[in-house]
Structure 1
Amino acid sequence: MKKIIPFYIFAFFTCSVFAQSNDIWVSFPNKDTTLVGFKDKNGIVKIEPKFSGFITAQKFENIIAVSEEENGKWKSYYLTKQGKVVGRDSLFTFDNSPDCENEGYIRFRDSKTDKMGIYNGEGKIVIPAAYDVVSKVHNGLISVLKGAKKKRDPLGEHFFWTGGKELLIDLNNKVLVNNFKSDNNLNFYSLEKSKEPSKDKTRDNFLGVDGQYYSFINYEKEFTNWLRNTLLTDLSKANLEKHSFEKITYWKEPDGWLNVPKSKFIEQNYLYLKLKLEELKNPKTDYFIATDGLNQFIFESPEYDIYFNNCHESKDWIYPVKNIVINPKNKADFKQDHLHFLRTEKGYKLISVAGAKDNLK
């Protein structure tokens, strides 16, 4: 895979960026595990356990979302390392979990206007609450939705946004691209800026308001290109091992998820892997590629820590998992084959497999 040299947006724009602290605190529970506090790398307690289980941050780098009981009532807010409290009752939550900082920034939602904005690590508002939807900060860039309408789904359980305009902005709240379309497949850390559109077929181009083009690697295009031109052209054991994670996790009945060194897995399951990957060369094969993040409940050991953020959420915006799902030839058989490839700093790596029953050893 072509090596990606990240182009940081900070080089182009003057941004007030809060420097992240190297003194990262870690969470710890009280005796009955009902409350959580924080201590530094030397084990010195910085905050006695007082926060509820609602807190998701396992590491305290600059700013976190917390919740605690006071006089019989629960209150939630953002807390900085310096003890500053901001955003009372204005936490941004998704799937019942509060936001987690990224690059020293965290999102909030104004409870009165229902609009979103961003705090920096010092608890200062850098992006005002003027947008319907705001993405995490990625390489100093933010994708926002403005002018949309909130509607309830037919079942009445969830809300969704319709209409509006998607923009790409920087940390100065400056619009870089109008009519921006981010389908969660863009690598913001691969930004290139040029007078002409990039001819790289793995990139998506966007015309900026300054007349120049902003291009980003599209993960879907990148993976498809890698699969076709790097992996499927050589299905030898050596090439499969080269493009596999050090350990491969696989599902086997009735044991569940197992984890073994890649050399052992490939040696024992080479015929199965080769057969399934050969099928992808056949245009009649019924398969699709889904995108996800690394499963935090399966990949729990320290070697996977780099792929998760301070709240142990998958960093799928830079380390997505591409799941090749192969449907059975016999339509009466509902068992699918799954080959998961994690994007790492050294390219895509086969990291887990879920095959048809009794196929894997």
Structure 2
Amino acid sequence: MQFAVQKNGDYLYGYKDKNGHVRVPAKFGNFTNAQKFTHIIAVSEAGTHQQYYLLRNGRKVGVDSVYMFDFTFDCEREGKIRFEDRKKNRIGFLNIQGRAIIPAMYNFVTPFQNGLAVARVGARAKCWSSENDTIRCEHLGWVGGRDVLINERNEILADSLAEGQWAHLNWYSLKINPAEVDTALTSSFRGKQGDRYTFINYEKEFTQWLYEVFVPAVRTGNDKQVAALCFPELAVAARPFKGWPHFQRAAFMTKYYQSVLRPKLGMLHRDSKNVAVLSEELNTYIFSGSLFQLFMTDCGAHFQDKYPVFDVMLTYAAPPGQKSDEYHNHFEFIRTPQGYRLLSVGL
């Protein structure tokens, strides 16, 4: 695990094993954001600012080929990590031995999820802050091109995915040519060879669960059933705002079930006009510690591809005399191995 020491006002990072012994001395700078050192990590040495990939045996690979997106290094996922050919401005993958198993040939590519990744090909670079300057650009993006689905052998399984076609997919639920397809819960697309790739759609799954499981439990007043559908620890923000205090599940139910959950969520219906379901990222500043490690990547970011978070936002007209015309209540849910659970409430 990563540890930090302070030197001359700056933090340097190194790694300890599970027994607390230092295995990699603290000599890396701020870009080194891997919280776990499984097989391969991207590092930036303090002082020299040299960037490279470090293996568990201490070997350096991919010097000056470290992939960075939005000023953040990549982290290992499924035994692979992204690297960049900066001359070609293309991205590929290294394996845990530091070998390029997928050449740098893509404009952009997602981390692998269940052996699959979405890659952008045929796009052109565009600087969003300066139309004509892509050399010194701080916010470089891509326009045009097409999205393709690749596997770990760099084979294109599906070509020209439509925009948004792969949003909210549970990559770990893949079924190829299923005999039956439940369109109320899944999304599908055709592969190059005619195969039908079908995935559970997280947004469809959550919406069904919300209206068929959670809301009926709240409406009927079954407090034990509702408690079981809450995360063991919940955060609540209320007026006047004093941060996000955390409550154990039993304390949350005592304080907020009858006063908030039942009147706010108990009467919801699919055709309710004041409700919107939004996809969100887990706030890792509010939700940290061992209880939430399962939901983090090796970089310490929200593992959104496996544990999505949805915000049920309720909108109300503001009382006369208020500065704004409307106000909102927020109820955030996270997908866990046991199913969706209420995680936070913002009033």
TM-score above 0.5, yes or no: yes
Aligned length: 328
What does residue range 282-321 of structure 1 map to in structure 2 within 5 Å?
283-321=271-309
Give how far 1:196 is off: 5.5
Residue 146 (structure 1) aligned with residue 121 (structure 2): yes
CA drift at 1:76: 0.6
Q: Which amino acid aligns with 2:141?
A: F
Which residue of structure 1 lines up, in the alignment, with residue 74 of structure 2?
99
Task: Choose 91-100 or 277-286, whichever is displaced more.
Answer: 277-286
Distance 1:154 1:30, change over 3 A: closer
Q: Which residue of 1 aligns with 2:208?
A: 225
- 1:204-248: per-residue Cα shift (whole Å, max 9, x none)? 111122322111111111111111211222312233212111111
Q: Following the alignment from structure 1 to structure 2, what is the Cα–Cα distance between the partners of residues 143 and 281?
A: 35
Asked whether 1:255 is paired with 2:239, we answer: no
Whether the 8 Å CA contact 1:184–1:317 is kept in 2: the answer is no
The one of 119, 127, 146 aligned to 1:165: 146
Map of 1:188 onto structure 2:
171
CA-to-aligned-CA distance 1:276-315 (integer Å, 9 cap, x gap): 2145327353231111222110111211111112221110
Q: Give the corresponding residue for 1:329.
A: 317
The CA deviation string for residues 177-197 of structure 1, in whole angstroms up to 9 with x for no partner, is: 112345431111001111657
SS in structure 1 at match of 2:210: helix
3-state DSSP class of the match of 1:240? helix
Change in 2 beyond 3 A, CA 1:212/1:258 = same
Q: Indicate yes or no: 2:310 matched with 1:344.
A: no
Does residue 265 in structure 1 map to residue 257 in structure 2?
Answer: no
For the pair 1:88 / 2:63, whether they are aligned, the reply is yes
On the 8 A contact 1:251/1:354 being kept in 2, the answer is yes
182-191 or 305-314, larger mean C-alpha shift: 182-191
Which residue is equivalent to 1:58?
A: 35
Give the aligned residue type for 2:19: N
Q: Is the 8 A contact 2:44 2:52 kept in 1?
A: yes
CA RMSD of the aligned region, Å? 2.0
Q: 1:226 to 1:284 in 2, by over 3 A?
A: closer
Task: For residue 160 of structure 2, give the secondary structure of its aligned residue in structure 1.
Answer: coil
Distance 1:289 1:94 in 2: 28
**Which residue of 2 is the match for residue 47 of structure 1?**
24
Relative distance call for 1:36 and 1:184 in structure 2 (3 A) is same
Would the alpha carbon gap of residues 233 and 310 (structure 1) be closer, same or farther in structure 2, given more than 3 Å must change? same
Match of 1:244 in 2: 230
Counterpart secondary structure, 1:230:
helix
Measure the CA separation in 1 of the matches of 2:41 and 2:328: 40
Q: What is the rounded CA distance, in whole Å, between the counterparts of 2:96 and 2:144 in structure 1?
A: 32
Partner SS state of residue 245, structure 2? strand
Identical-residue share of aligned pairs (%)? 34
Gaps of at least 5 residues in structure 2 are 132-137
Residues 86 and 231 of structure 1: CA distance in aligned 2, closer, same or farther (over 3 Å) = same
CA distance in 1, matches of 2:17, 2:102: 30
Seen in structure 2, the aligned counterparts of structure 1 residues 282 and 165 have a Cα distance that, compared at 3 Å, is: closer
Q: Which has the higher contact order (CA 8 A, sep 6+)?
A: 1
CA distance in 2, matches of 1:154, 1:82: 41
Tell me, yes or no, if structure 1 residue 198 matches structure 2 residue 186. no
Counterpart-to-counterpart distance in 2, 1:190 and 1:282: 25
TM norm structure 2: 0.88
